[in-house]
Structure 1
Amino acid sequence: MLALAGLHYWPALPQGAERPAETASIAVDEPITPIPEPILSEPLKVRLGERLFRDTRLSRDNSRSCASCHDISANGATGNRLDHGIDGTTLPLNTPTVFNSSLSFRLGWEGRYRSLDDQTVALLQAPHVTNITPGEVAQKLNSDPDIRNQFVVAYGGRPDADNIVDAIAMFERTLLTPGSRFDQWLKGDASALSPLEMDGYRLFKSLGCVSCHQGVNVGGNLFERHGIFHPLASPEPKLLRVPSLRNVATTAPYFHDGSAPTLDDAVRRMALAQLNSTLTDGEVKAIVAYLGTLTGEFRGKSVGAGP
């Protein structure tokens, strides 16, 4: 059993079972691994965390919740180039999706946060996001008998700064999206990808995209400077956490400044800026087709399919 980001995952095959030869030949040497299914070890806390995630009392003026910028019925973020803060100001960076965030080694575009708990506290307190402290949230929630009782059942006590943050982070750790067609291919289904998608994956590897976008999250596990050969997007911040490409076909617009409106545009610009490669239309088409196979499922529906 593997413990990852507070969740526990069991191996895909029972101990002692033999993996089919086709599966082994496909999966063993690949730089990307499938997303595991989450196991809900503490459902009461997760259920409470989801309620908090949608609760507008987590903002100073009761106007917005985490879900205001992270819509889990859609792509886990928004479709905006840049979202707006609680005070109406434009936020400086494009909103990343919350899906699969627990699989990244750091959080946020600049990788400032080492855990979901740390990120939750920072975003709650950020003046332009929700502008409130966890302690102030606790004061609000303690005046509500219903949610106060839910905390007592889940945590054995009333809402406080620590268990509020813990519940939100517990819920966010469940926001995994397994079941993509590429993961099916990794697990041994040779028919899961079309010839064009397979060509795109081969290009993705041979061009060097996979040097930064690999592992279970197809990214999210290292820092990189952007604009190595040519300018890519807004020059600041210069050093970024490499984003995950999971569900990337659903998360337009792209880049830290949201300046690439389509995946086609993002692929062309990334290849030129980071690899010094000018791609043909056919190469872009193939890579975009491959990236579309990284769309997984959440609660039995394809990410981005809507409620």
Structure 2
Amino acid sequence: MIAICAVLLCCLEVTPAPSQSPPPTASDRGEPVTPILAAPAIDPLKVALGEKLFGDRRLSHDDSRTCQDCHDVATNGASQKRHDVSLNGAELPLNTLTVFNSTLSFRYGWEGKFRTVEADIKSSLESPNTMGSSAAEIAAKLDADADMRDRFFAAYGRRPEGADVIDALASFQRTLVTPGSKFDRWLAGDDSALSADELDGYRLFKSLGCSACHQGVNVGGNLYERHGIFHPLASPEPKILRVPSLRNVATTPPYFHDGSAPTLDDAVRKMAVAQLNATLTDQQASALVAFLGSLTGTYRGAPVGGSP
């Protein structure tokens, strides 16, 4: 009997216990989209300074506007207008893109003219259509403010300089990421995160070919594409655009580079015709809109745009 027990114990010791595999991640699933990670660790003094500058009217030549006026981080990171206006009151030619998750794209702006966030910021500060100023002019204004001088000394160890103005703004912009969407939770292995309609919409998004251009961490933003491949889409110029990110897209109407699509349903249907030569049924359009709604993330613990 003792010998039998010894044999059984030996068997128990060498038999490995069944292991529980972690839930599949986006890469395990082989999905074309990956989740947004938390904001990178950046000097908090530089980030706080950049945020303060983002809402400072002295960044514009005539002290009339702030970055926040067109890129409202309290809502969708952009504006609700089809076209924002220039310093002289004329409409800007292109719809304002959201600043949220912009640093996850490979280029900046609708035409992708700028390779770095610093270059994009410098252009916005200098453009006569937006701020009409320069980093040097802004630094000189801020240097006359004792509180701002203290903030720059704390963050950079010196009085305000143009390069530091741009760096502080870039530091803040790099923190404007919006993780935690329903879709990201699903990608991370939470199978209950998406509804049946949202899942149907995602399957359709892939099967129709939408994910050929809208993929990666930003669900877009990583390649150029010609619009109006099969049929006209919106304003003909510019012909080639940087594919926009679809992150938080449900919160950023109107749509397209000219802001001509007032609703997401309208944009989805027009995109299908123009880019895929496909006419969507009402059910397909509804499913795609449901999926796109699941891409709304959170910023500072709240959903972007206040959507559910």
TM band (smaller chain): over 0.9
Structure 1 pair 274/19, CA: closer, same or farther in 2 (3 Å)? farther
Q: Which residue of 2 aligns with 1:246?
A: 247
SS of equivalent residue, structure 1 residue 201: helix
Q: Counterpart of 1:304 in 2: which secondary structure?
A: helix
Partner of 1:87: 88
User: Within 5 A, what are the aligned runs for 1:249-260?
Assistant: 249-260=250-261
**Alignment match, 1:39:** 40
Aligned residue number for residue 182 of structure 2: 181
The residue type equivalent to 1:107 in the other structure is: Y
Counterpart Cα distance in 1 of 2:245 and 2:21: 29
TM-score, structure 2 as length reference: 0.92
CA displacement, residues 89-110 of structure 1 (integer Å, 9 cap, x when unaligned): 1100000000000000000000
**Match of residue 190 from structure 1:** 191
Question: Cα distance 1:33–1:84, how it changes in 2: closer, same or farther (>3 A)?
Answer: same
Q: CA deviation digits over 1:32-63, x for unaligned, max 9?
A: 00000113331000000000001000001111
Ranges in structure 2 where 5+ consecutive residues have no aligned partner: 1-18
Larger radius of gyration: 2
What displacement does 1:113 show? Answer: 0.6
Paired residue secondary structure (2:288)? helix
Aligned-partner Cα distance in 2 for 1:25–1:61: 48
C-alpha contact (below 8 Å) 1:27/1:186 kept by paired residues: no
Partner in structure 2 of residue 134 of structure 1: 135
Tell which deviates more after alignment, 74-83 or 18-27: 18-27
CA distance in 1 between counterparts of 2:265 and 2:219 reads 18
Q: String of CA shifts for 1:139-185, please: whole Å, max 9, x gaps.
A: 10000000111000100101111000000001000000000000000
> Within 5 Å, which residues of 2 pair with 1:139-178?
139-178=140-179
Give the structure 2 partner of residue 7 of structure 1: none
Question: For residues 204 and 40 of structure 1, what CA distance do their matches in structure 2 show?
Answer: 33
Change (3 A) 1:180 1:19: farther
Contact 1:27 1:33 in 2 (8 A): no
Q: How many Å separate the matches in 1 of 2:298 and 2:116?
A: 24
Between the aligned partners of 1:49 and 1:93, the Cα distance in structure 2 is 25
Gaps of 5+ in 1: 1-17
In structure 1, the residue matched to 2:72 is: 71
In 2, are the aligned partners of 1:26 and 1:188 still within 8 Å (CA)? no
In 1, Cα distance between equivalents of 2:223 and 2:63: 36
Note the 1:95-114 alignment, pairs <5 A.
95-114=96-115
Structure 1 distance, partners of 2:247, 2:21, is: 26
- Match in the other structure for 2:292: 291
Rounded to whole Å, the distance in 1 between the matches of 2:84 and 2:72 is 13
Residues 26 and 187 in structure 1, CA contact (< 8 A), matched pair in contact too: no
Distance in 1 of aligned mates of 2:26 and 2:118: 39
Number of equivalent positions: 289
Moved over 4 A (4+): 24-27
Distance 1:295 1:27 in 2: 23
Which residue identity is paired with 2:119?
Answer: D
Partner of 1:305: 306
Match of 1:206 in 2: 207
**Percent identical residues:** 60
Tell me which amino acid in the other structure corresponds to 2:205: F
Counterpart residue identity of residue 241, structure 1? R
What is the distance in 2 between the residues matched to 1:26 and 1:194? 21
Question: Alignment RMSD, CA only?
Answer: 1.3
TM-score by length of 1: 0.92
Inter-partner Cα distance in structure 1 for 2:61 and 2:306: 32
One-letter amino acid matched to 2:261: A
19 and 254 in structure 1: CA distance in 2 versus 1, 3 angstrom threshold: farther
CA 20–37 in structure 1, closer or farther in 2 if over 3 Å, else same: farther
Which amino acid letter does the alignment assign opposite residue 240 of structure 1?
A: L
d(CA) in 1 for partners of 2:143, 2:225: 44
Alpha-carbon distance between aligned partners in 1 of 2:25 and 2:70, rounded to the nearest angstrom: 40
